[in-house]
Amino acid sequence: MNRYSATNTIKNNQGIRRNSTIILPNSISNPLTDIFIKTTSVERLDKLAQQFYNDASMWWIIAATNNIGKGTLLVPTDTELRIPAAESVMNMLINLNQTR
């Protein structure tokens, strides 16, 4: 599912267009269904997304959930990560697509 399919396009005063930001709802995280991992080596967010969601483009879900900033897809060794359950992520994206 495309990350930007549920976003609005914004046009600034200079006519430059960009996609608006999606803020993940808190309800996407559930300690009963989420997966918690601790990296034992340097990991890549896109590889983790492929492993858990079968879609490398969903890396931004893991980044946003764990407050990982811009600039790199690399996650250092010994980092604890929360991976939202695939079903929760898909439901959230479907709901966003239906409301836009």
Q: What's the chain's Rg over C-alpha atoms?
A: 15
Q: The tokens of 35 are what?
A: 């997966």
Mean pLDDT taken over the chain:
83
pLDDT attached to residue 35: 94
The domain spans of the chain are 21-99
Tokens of residue 99, six digits:
């409301």
State the pLDDT confidence band at 9, using cuts at 50, 70 and 90.
confident
- Distance, in Å, from the CA atom of 82 to the CA atom of 38, rounded to the nearest integer, reads 9
Is the Cβ–Cβ distance between 82 and 65 less than 8 Å?
yes
Q: pLDDT tens across 53-92, in order? A: 999 988 989 998 998 877 789 999 999 999 999 988 888 8
Considering the entire predicted model, what is its pTM?
0.72
Q: Which pLDDT value is given to residue 39?
A: 96
Query: Using 50, 70 and 90 to split pLDDT, how confident is the model at 25?
Result: low
CB neighbour list of residue 61: distance below 8 Å, 6 or more residues apart: 24, 28, 49, 53, 84, 89
Q: Which residue has the higher pLDDT, 7 or 63?
A: 63
